[in-house]
Amino acid sequence: MKLEIRHVTRYRYASPVTDSVNEIRLSPRTDERQACYQHRLTVEPVVSLLSYEDYFGNRVHSFTANDAHRELVITAHSTVVTRDRKLAPPADMAPVTSWGRVRSPDFVDRYAEYLLASSYVSFFPTVSAYASGIGGEGEGVFGFVREAARRIHGDFEYKPNSTGVGTTAEELIGIGSGVCQDFAHLMIAVCRYRGVPARYVSGYHFVGDLQGRDADFEQASHAWVEVYVPGAGWMGVDPTNDNLIDWRYVKLGHGRDYTDIVPVKGIYRGTGEQELTVTVDVRLAETG
């Protein structure tokens, strides 16, 4: 399916600021499930953009706005074609085999960075107890992952503004409600605690009406999880909606947690009084 995305980030400052240095991670990836056919970034005030790939293979653009300005606007336009892919592991892999593979020393060494605790993902007693209570190993790694997503979806309420950008997996359990970022971090914590590599994914979720091509502005920007399932590789799972990733999802990038793939981050010289506005529009592209 062909999707068009417009993502606008606007900063307004109470007084002029200078020397604004920024990194942007708003370029959709091209992989076996999606292809980015067009991507355009514009920044006001006008700046020179540098581009590179980070450690995780995410496309990063950086810039510096040295002159005084009271507003910074970053607009990303993208056209992405997505498709569904087979999301089930090989039927002939026994559960004991899949669990044995993720626990082998070579496997643990290879995926260590997606098995360790990180800024948002801890193994404190609260998280450990929650993870221990999810499923057994009779259905294999894939079955465990699906059960984990189902449990998180059912145990916690999706509630905008109930948490902050710095909320950890442990804090979500205490609060009982959160947003997609929180659900993703808890899913990662549960998987890593049980020895399943998991990484945080940022992107977009098309939830608009297929006929009218309208998008839900509040939910179009999204976060989910990719887990490594033996025999299938990295598989996308959305604990917020309890489903596997399909054509409605557009991936921007992945990392150990939110810290690695903040869409826009930077520093500047000047007032601390600022107003941030973000709008996202995801819609089906015109065809014919």
User: Is the model's pLDDT at 212 over the cut of 60?
Assistant: no
Tell me how far apart the terminal alpha carbons of the chain are, to the nearest angstrom: 13
According to DSSP, the residues that pair with 253 across neighbouring strands are 202
This prediction has a pTM of 0.93
Query: Alpha-carbon distance 150 to 224, whole Å?
Result: 13
User: pLDDT of 256-280, one tens digit each?
Assistant: 999 999 999 999 999 999 999 999 9
88 within 8 A of 19, measured Cβ to Cβ = no
Q: What is the CATH number of domain 95-261?
A: 3.10.620.30
State residue 139's pLDDT score.
84
User: pLDDT of 113-145, one tens digit each?
Assistant: 999 999 999 999 999 999 999 987 788 999 999
Q: Where are the domains of the chain?
A: 2-82+262-284, 95-261
Q: Which band of pLDDT confidence, cut at 50, 70 and 90, is reported for residue 221?
A: confident
User: pLDDT of 75-102, one tens digit each?
Assistant: 999 999 999 876 666 667 898 999 999 9
> Which is more confident, 90 or 281?
281
User: pLDDT of 16-64, one tens digit each?
Assistant: 999 999 999 999 999 999 999 999 999 999 999 999 999 999 999 999 9
Q: Domain 2-82+262-284 adopts which CATH fold?
A: Immunoglobulin-like (2.60.40)
